[in-house]
Every structure is written in C-alpha cells, then in structure tokens.
C-alpha cells in the first residue's frame, strides 16, 4: 500500500461553515447545503497542522493526492476509496500556446478526468458517514467517477444525465455499476429530479457543491500547483468553469497554504472560462453582480461546462474578482480550433473544455489581460480520448500499385 495511505492519523477538521453566513456546523455528521441553501466549507485547525507536519515533509512524500492527508477531511484510512490518484503533470505547449504556457493534464487521473479528485473525497466521506445510496446529475465525467468509486466500496448509485450526453460517457457510467438514465433536459433539470428524490429520503444528493467534500478533493489541484512551482504560484490560471468546484477549491487551498506559512501572499489571476453558448458566470461578472441568473437555451460542444446555473456562483465570482482575474466566454469554433492546434502542433489531445482554456488564453493575450512573459496554467480537465474526433478516411489497397508520392 502507498505509504500515504498506510496508517490512521489525527484529523484536523474542526467544523463546517456556511460559505455565505459563516454559521458553524458540526463535523462528523452528514450534511448537504447550509440552512440558507449554500455550500458548506470544511475548516481545519491550521495551527495544529503546522505543528504536526512541515512543508518539507510533504514534499518528501510520494507525489499523489494523499500526500496532503493533513489538509483533507477523511479521518480513517480504512474509509479511503482509492483508485490511484496521481499528481498530474504540467505539460508545456510551446507551439500552440507559447513559451510560458503549461497544461495541467487532469486526464491522467482515474476515470480519465479531474472529477476523480472531488469524487474520491466525497465517496470516501460518504462511506465514513454511513451513506448507502447516492444520486447525482452529470454531464458525463462526474457520473463516471462516482460510479467507479461508489462501486468499489459497495454504495448504490443512480446517475441522471442530459439526453445528449456523449455516448461513451453514458456507457462508462453504466459499465462501472451505476444505474444511469438519460433525461430530456439539461443538467439542472436532472438535478431537480435528484433533489426531489433526496427530499423524499430515497437517496443522498451528490450534486455539485450540495455536499461539502468535493471541494476538498478539488482543492488538491491548488496544493499540487504550489508544490510543483516550488511553493510559488503561476501568474494566471485558466479554468473551465461549469459548477466551478475546482476554482473555488484552489482559491481555498491558496488561503490555507498561506495561513500555514508555506506560500506567500502572491495569488494567480483566476480566469473562469465558459462557452459563449452557456456563460452565466461571465454575464454576472460583466454585470458586477454576486449571483448569476440561469442561462437559457444552453448549448456548446464543451458539455462539461454547460451548466446553466451554479449553486456556488458567488464563490466563483468572489475568487475571480479577488484575484484580479476575469470571466471569459469563448465560442465553439475557437474551442475546436484550440483542440486541433494543440493536437497537431504539440501532440497533446485536449478535451473540448481544455480547449476552451487555450481559446480563452489566446483571447486574454490579444486583449492585454496576460503577457507572453507571464506563466499561465491551463486546465485540461479530461482525456481527449473520451470525445468524438474527426473521421480519418484515407485508405490504401495493398493489392494495387502504391503511389508513394501521395502518402
């Protein structure tokens, strides 16, 4: 067993806290949203953590997600439901992006996407807290991660997805043990059904940010970046934003690391990237408001960021504004061109949501929001192998004379 998982350790969780009102909630109890219907945030005894472990000790551990165990909520090693969550690499894309552009390639994680980070933590905590049945709405990758982790520990799962969810995602969810249903609507329509079932006591609602622990898994992206950059941080982060859990989680991670004294006060400018066919966070940012209205008639090739309304909208907007960043919308043509350019020029196959971050970086560069000399990290949230690709139709008949000049 990985030494990061080999022994129980003291938990440093003190309580949970409403992200809007600050009201405290008891740890070690099953919670959904706060009383005012907003996400709960996990809080830690950071002073005790700083006494228990040093930055150098963390750096010396095997580089997986569980090296950060003191900053994670799972109390008992026996409850960790792991499929081998590695630290994902930073891959330069000098030809399609530029000399200082790095892709954090989350497609290397179990089930091929960064959803593994949030769901390994949420499922481990569900196991620890005695949950036996879970339901979730998904655009694809989150459902796949839930199915894999929940099946591994024997939790029953029901997954609802929009009717146009890519076939490979639906089949992946089904083959890994969940009961998956297509719904004639969008992800928030699926979420409404999940919520109604949860209210009737049929299952626990695992919708984005409606339980407290996916944020804790996703924040490991920020923890990893700090370590990978030598306890400094990049100048800019471009993050594909649907529910926004990862952006919120990274912002939380940076705050915790600074309070531990492991990094300074420098923060990256956070760019929340959306598709122009579904850009509620961009509109709210541009309008200067704290909450986003539901985006009607949502459509984009980047299904993972097609979220008409996010329950954590104010937390996304808060992080973007505090960082000096921006919410940026890019159209589908720019997304597909970015995917094509990176594959052909740098050999890295992005998912459409990852392509959106490169398209947004290019737009930000053209608008003077970032400089070529600045270090920018783009998040590729899933392996491009899960997504439809253009046909390759060339055919060679070995029984006929070969025109080698045409090959």
pLDDT for 360: 98
- Residue 98 contacts by C-beta under 8 Å, 6 or more apart in sequence? 365, 372, 376
pLDDT for 166: 87
What number is the average pLDDT over the span 6-11?
A: 65
Q: How confident is the model at residue 9 (pLDDT cuts 50, 70, 90)?
A: low
My answer on whether 242 and 105 are in the same domain is yes
Q: Max Cα separation, the chain?
A: 78
My answer on whether 275 and 325 are in the same domain is yes
What number is the average pLDDT over the span 56-61?
A: 96
Q: Which pLDDT tens digit goes with each residue over 291-323?
A: 999 999 999 999 999 999 999 999 999 999 999
Nearest 5°: the CA angle 390, 396, 401 is: 155
Q: Which pLDDT tens digit goes with each residue over 246-278?
A: 999 999 999 999 999 999 999 999 999 999 999
My answer on whether 170 and 60 are in the same domain is no
What number is the average pLDDT over the span 66-87?
A: 95
Q: Which pLDDT tens digit goes with each residue over 154-191?
A: 999 999 999 999 899 999 999 999 999 999 999 999 99
**Residue 73 within any structural domain of the chain:** no
**Residue 78 within any structural domain of the chain:** no
My answer on whether 178 and 250 are in the same domain is no
Q: How confident is the model at residue 141 (pLDDT cuts 50, 70, 90)?
A: very high
What number is the average pLDDT over the span 50-57?
A: 96
**Residue 260 within any structural domain of the chain:** yes
Look at residue 7 and tell me whether its pLDDT is greater than 70.
Answer: no
My answer on whether 172 and 54 are in the same domain is no
What number is the average pLDDT over the span 354-362?
A: 98
Supply 259's token pair. 């309070």
**Residue 402 within any structural domain of the chain:** no
Q: Which pLDDT tens digit goes with each residue over 191-210?
A: 999 999 999 999 999 998 89
Full-model pTM? 0.94
- Residue 178 contacts by C-beta under 8 Å, 6 or more apart in sequence? 143, 146, 147, 150, 151, 157, 158, 159
My answer on whether 188 and 248 are in the same domain is no
My answer on whether 273 and 174 are in the same domain is no
H-assigned helices in 111-165: 115-128, 141-153
**Residue 343 within any structural domain of the chain:** yes
pLDDT for 10: 66
My answer on whether 132 and 260 are in the same domain is no
Q: Give the residue from 171, 205, 239 where a domain finishes.
A: 205
My answer on whether 262 and 144 are in the same domain is no
**Residue 336 within any structural domain of the chain:** yes
Cβ atoms 126, 134 nearer than 8 A:
yes
Q: Which pLDDT tens digit goes with each residue over 281-297?
A: 999 999 999 999 999 99
**Residue 374 within any structural domain of the chain:** yes
What number is the average pLDDT over the span 72-89?
A: 95
What number is the average pLDDT over the span 348-377?
A: 98
Q: Give the residue from 205, 225, 249 where a domain finishes.
A: 205
Q: What's the total number of domains in the chain? A: 3
Compare 63 and 1 and report the one with higher pLDDT.
63
Look at residue 124 and tell me whether its pLDDT is greater than 90.
Answer: yes
Helix (H) or strand (E) holding 365: helix 352-366
Q: Give the residue from 49, 64, 79 where a domain finishes.
A: 64
pLDDT for 388: 87
Whole-number mean pLDDT of the chain? 95
My answer on whether 288 and 348 are in the same domain is yes
**Residue 406 within any structural domain of the chain:** no
Look at residue 110 and tell me whether its pLDDT is greater than 80.
Answer: yes
Look at residue 381 and tell me whether its pLDDT is greater than 90.
Answer: yes
- The CATH number linked to 189 is 3.40.50.1100
pLDDT for 390: 87
Sign of the Cα torsion 76, 80, 84, 86 reads negative
CA-to-CA distance for 274 and 242, rounded, in angstroms?
7
CA-to-CA distance for 316 and 42, rounded, in angstroms?
17
Look at residue 6 and tell me whether its pLDDT is greater than 60.
Answer: no
My answer on whether 260 and 189 are in the same domain is no
Owning domain of residue 256 = 90-112+213-386
My answer on whether 134 and 188 are in the same domain is yes
pLDDT for 173: 97
């Amino acid at each position: 067993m990985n030494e990061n998982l080999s022994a129980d350790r003291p938990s440093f969780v003190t309580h949970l806290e409403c992200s809007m009102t600050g009201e405290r909630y008891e740890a070690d109890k099953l919670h959904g949203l706060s009383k005012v219907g907003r996400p709960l945030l996990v809080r830690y005894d950071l002073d005790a953590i700083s006494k228990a472990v040093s930055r150098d000790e963390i750096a010396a551990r095997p580089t997986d997600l569980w090296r950060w165990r003191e900053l994670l909520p799972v109390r008992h090693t026996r409850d960790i439901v792991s499929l081998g969550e590695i630290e994902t690499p930073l891959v330069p894309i000098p030809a399609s992006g530029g000399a200082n552009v790095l892709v954090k390639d989350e497609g290397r994680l179990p089930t091929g996407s960064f959803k593994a980070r949030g769901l390994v933590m949420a499922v481990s905590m569900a196991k620890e807290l005695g949950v036996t049945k879970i339901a979730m709405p998904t655009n694809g990758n989150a459902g796949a991660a839930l199915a894999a982790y929940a099946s591994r520990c024997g939790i029953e799962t029901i997954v609802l997805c929009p009717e146009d969810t890519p076939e490979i995602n639906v089949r992946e969810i089904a083959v890994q043990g969940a009961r998956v249903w297509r719904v004639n609507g969008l992800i928030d329509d699926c979420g409404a059904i999940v919520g109604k079932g949860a209210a009737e006591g049929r299952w626990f609602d695992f919708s984005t940010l409606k339980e407290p622990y996916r944020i804790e898994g996703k924040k490991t992206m920020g923890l990893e970046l700090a370590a990978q950059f030598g306890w400094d941080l990049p100048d800019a982060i471009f993050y594909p934003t649907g529910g926004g859990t990862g952006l919120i989680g990274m912002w939380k991670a940076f705050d915790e690391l600074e309070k531990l004294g492991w990094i300074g006060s420098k923060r990256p400018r956070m760019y929340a990237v959306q598709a122009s066919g579904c850009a509620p966070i961009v509109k709210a940012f541009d309008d200067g408001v704290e909450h986003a209205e539901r985006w009607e008639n949502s459509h984009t090739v980047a299904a993972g960021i097609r979220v008409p309304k996010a329950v954590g909208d104010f937390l996304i907007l808060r992080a973007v504004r505090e960082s000096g960043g921006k919410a940026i919308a890019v159209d589908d043509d720019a997304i597909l061109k970015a995917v094509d350019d990176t594959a052909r020029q740098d050999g890295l196959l992005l998912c459409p949501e990852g392509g959106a971050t490169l398209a947004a970086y290019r737009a930000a560069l053209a608008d003077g929001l970032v400089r070529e000399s600045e270090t920018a990290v783009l998040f590729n949230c899933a392996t491009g192998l899960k997504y439809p690709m253009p046909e390759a139709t060339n055919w060679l008949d070995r029984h006929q004379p070969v025109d080698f000049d045409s090959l």
